[in-house]
Amino acid sequence: MEKKVRTRFAPSPTGFMHIGNLRTALFEYLIAKSGGGDFVLRIEDTDQNRYVEGAEELIYKSLKIAGLKHDEGPDIGGKFGPYVQSLRRERYMEYAKELIDKGKAYYCFCSKERLESLKTENGNEFGGYDRHCRNLKNEEVKKNLSQGLPFVIRQKMPLGGVTTFEDEVFGEVTVENKELEDQILVKADGYPTYNFANVIDDHEMQITDIVRGCEYLSSTPKYNLLYEAFGWEIPRYIHLPLIMGKNPDGTVSKLSKRHGAVSFEDLLNDGYLPEAVINYIVLLGWCPEGNRELFSLEELVKEFSIKRISKSPAVFDYDKLDWFNGEYIRKESTQDFIKHAENYIRQGIGDKNFDIKKIASVLQQRLVKFTQIPDMISFLPDLPEYDKDLFINKKSKTNLENSLSVLKEAKTALENLDKWDFESIHDLILGLAKKMGVKNGTMMWPVRIAVSGQQTTPGGAIEILDILGKDESIKRISYAIEKLS
Ligand code: GLU
């Protein structure tokens, strides 16, 4: 019987959820769920210097917002717990000692100063630790330990031969063993390094598929040597391609803050919907069969396959993300849209008493990001100062003269309109165009400019009149007439 697929998301609590991390979590979720398996959350906090208060909560919150529900984790438990590495501390030491007994690891007592000097010393062609303590005599080790000398435990790498493994995405990877440093497994503070803890935990937690960024590709042979030393089965590896950002000069480089928001939180604060972000980032390194681009998470579970992960770097395109966000905004129910847009609308209209629902309905059709809203509707509370040349528009066949006469007619008619709602304004304006023998556009353009003071607006003339109300609309039209007279 095939083993149940188990993947794990193993973030370090650094205080924010980088897009790359979120993509890793998403792929791990999809690989587990598309195979009917488990998605495990493990917190990798062995680097206590980097500990950030509240970072764990942020991880739970981000996964929840993203819809990536884990089956086991620190917050919900599970049979392989604890799921926080600092709480598993004792067991790493035991495993490290087992490796020492097997001759695959050793105590190292080198001082910081000695290690520092190695970096500068000529002739350290290896470029790493010079294996000074690798062959210490047993008695010496015992003596040092009994004297309480600080130590680390290092992995004893083979000095010859090669280590090879097969990655599902990158194919066969081979390294010369002599290039592998005798890396530290347990640090002087008794904590394991990531390099050690991830292997122990992945084995103990019965993880079948290791999914992570390709920056770990070159370390994987070291992990495999550990699996072999323990006699454990090596998991399947799925390394994901780099995520790049576009530079102004057209080149690309590793995605960083200078390209734009790089954390999930920042994207949400910038006005993107979580569903849109998830849908967009699944395409960073994976492509579906066919041309379809819009997928819900459930649909992705059905569609996803490891075979279609690419090893070429993916470029994060903020314009494309905008497009996805717009699509998701359009798909929202009116109720959800208002829920998401309301604060931004209130910010835009200040203390004016406009109908939020009406504003929302013109915005939903045109919006790309929620954060655009205050600017887009700033003309509602205050008519901006504008140039009268805005009334000239070729397509609508308007000029300063016919704009003036249209506005005069509109003003009188609107003043006599008793029922101020979309339907009534609509009928009145179109009726007026007919009566004056002008095209609808020739009627609408000057009215819209008069009530908004700007070339482009969310919503047309009628919608804006409806939102502004009778008094304000007529005031603005009168001002335009003055301007044109
Ligand atoms: N803790 C590692 C990180 O945050 C996880 C790497 C892995 O998935 O193995 O980068």
For the beta carbon of residue 237, count every other beta carbon within 10 angstroms: 21
Per DSSP bridges, beta strands 236-240 and 209-213 are parallel
Å from CA of 257 to ligand 1 middle: 20
Sign, Cα dihedral of 268, 271, 276, 280: negative
Q: What is the pLDDT of residue 116?
A: 85
Measured CA distances, 219 to 177, 182, 195, 235, 414 (Å): 12, 12, 8, 14, 74
For the beta carbon of residue 149, count every other beta carbon within 10 angstroms: 12
Which residue is closest in CA terms to ligand 1's atom 10?
Answer: 11
Which residues touch 210 (CB under 8 Å, ≥6 apart)?
7, 8, 202, 235, 236, 237, 238
Q: Which amino acid is at 122?
A: N
Whether residue 104 lies in the annotated active site: no
Å from CA of 449 to ligand 1 middle: 55
The binding-site residues of ligand 1, defined as CB within 6 angstroms of any ligand atom, are 10-12, 44, 194, 198, 212, 216
Measured CA distances, 186 to 45, 114, 151, 189, 363 (Å): 14, 18, 9, 8, 57
Q: Which of 378, 386, 388, 350 is nearest to 457 (CA)?
A: 378
Residue tagged active-site, from 142, 143, 254, 257: 257
Per DSSP bridges, beta strands 105-108 and 152-155 are antiparallel
Measured CA distances, 109 to 95, 188, 292 (Å): 19, 9, 58
Q: How many helices (H) and strands (E) does the chain have?
A: 19, 12
Q: What is the pLDDT of residue 128?
A: 82
Which residues touch 307 (CB under 8 Å, ≥6 apart)?
none
CA 444 – CA 431 distance, rounded (Å): 12
| 3-state class (DSSP) for residue 29 | helix
For the beta carbon of residue 99, count every other beta carbon within 10 angstroms: 21
85 contacts 43 by C-beta, under 8 angstroms = yes
pTM equals: 0.91
For a mutational test of ligand 1's pocket, the pick from 196, 212, 236, 263, i.e. the residue with the most ligand atoms closer than 8 A to its C-beta, is 212
Q: Which residue has the tokens 């649909």?
A: 299
**pLDDT digits (tens), the chain, 485 positions:** 678 999 999 999 989 999 999 999 999 999 999 999 999 999 999 887 777 889 999 999 999 999 999 999 999 999 999 999 999 999 999 999 999 999 999 999 999 888 888 876 555 555 689 999 999 999 999 999 999 999 999 999 999 999 999 999 999 999 999 999 999 999 999 999 999 999 999 999 999 999 999 999 999 999 999 999 999 999 999 999 999 999 999 999 999 999 999 999 999 999 999 999 999 999 999 999 999 999 999 999 999 999 999 999 999 999 999 999 999 999 999 999 999 999 999 999 999 999 999 999 999 999 999 999 999 999 999 999 999 999 999 999 999 999 999 999 999 999 999 999 999 999 999 999 999 999 999 999 999 999 999 999 999 999 999 999 999 999 999 999 999 99
| 3-state class (DSSP) for residue 345 | helix
Å from CA of 318 to ligand 1 middle: 25
Q: Which of 462, 371, 390, 471 is nearest to 422 (CA)?
A: 462
Which residue is closest in CA terms to ligand 1's atom 4?
Answer: 11
Furthest-apart CA atoms within the chain: distance in Å: 109
Domains of the chain, with CATH numbers? 332-376 (no CATH), 388-484 (1.10.10.350)
For a mutational test of ligand 1's pocket, the pick from 7, 9, 12, 83, i.e. the residue with the most ligand atoms closer than 8 A to its C-beta, is 12
Judged on CB neighbours under 10 Å (0-12, 13-18, 19+), 202 is buried
CA 383 – CA 388 distance, rounded (Å): 14
Q: Which residue has the tokens 């803890």?
A: 197
Å from CA of 355 to ligand 1 middle: 49
Which atom of ligand 1 sits closest to the CA of residue 14? 4
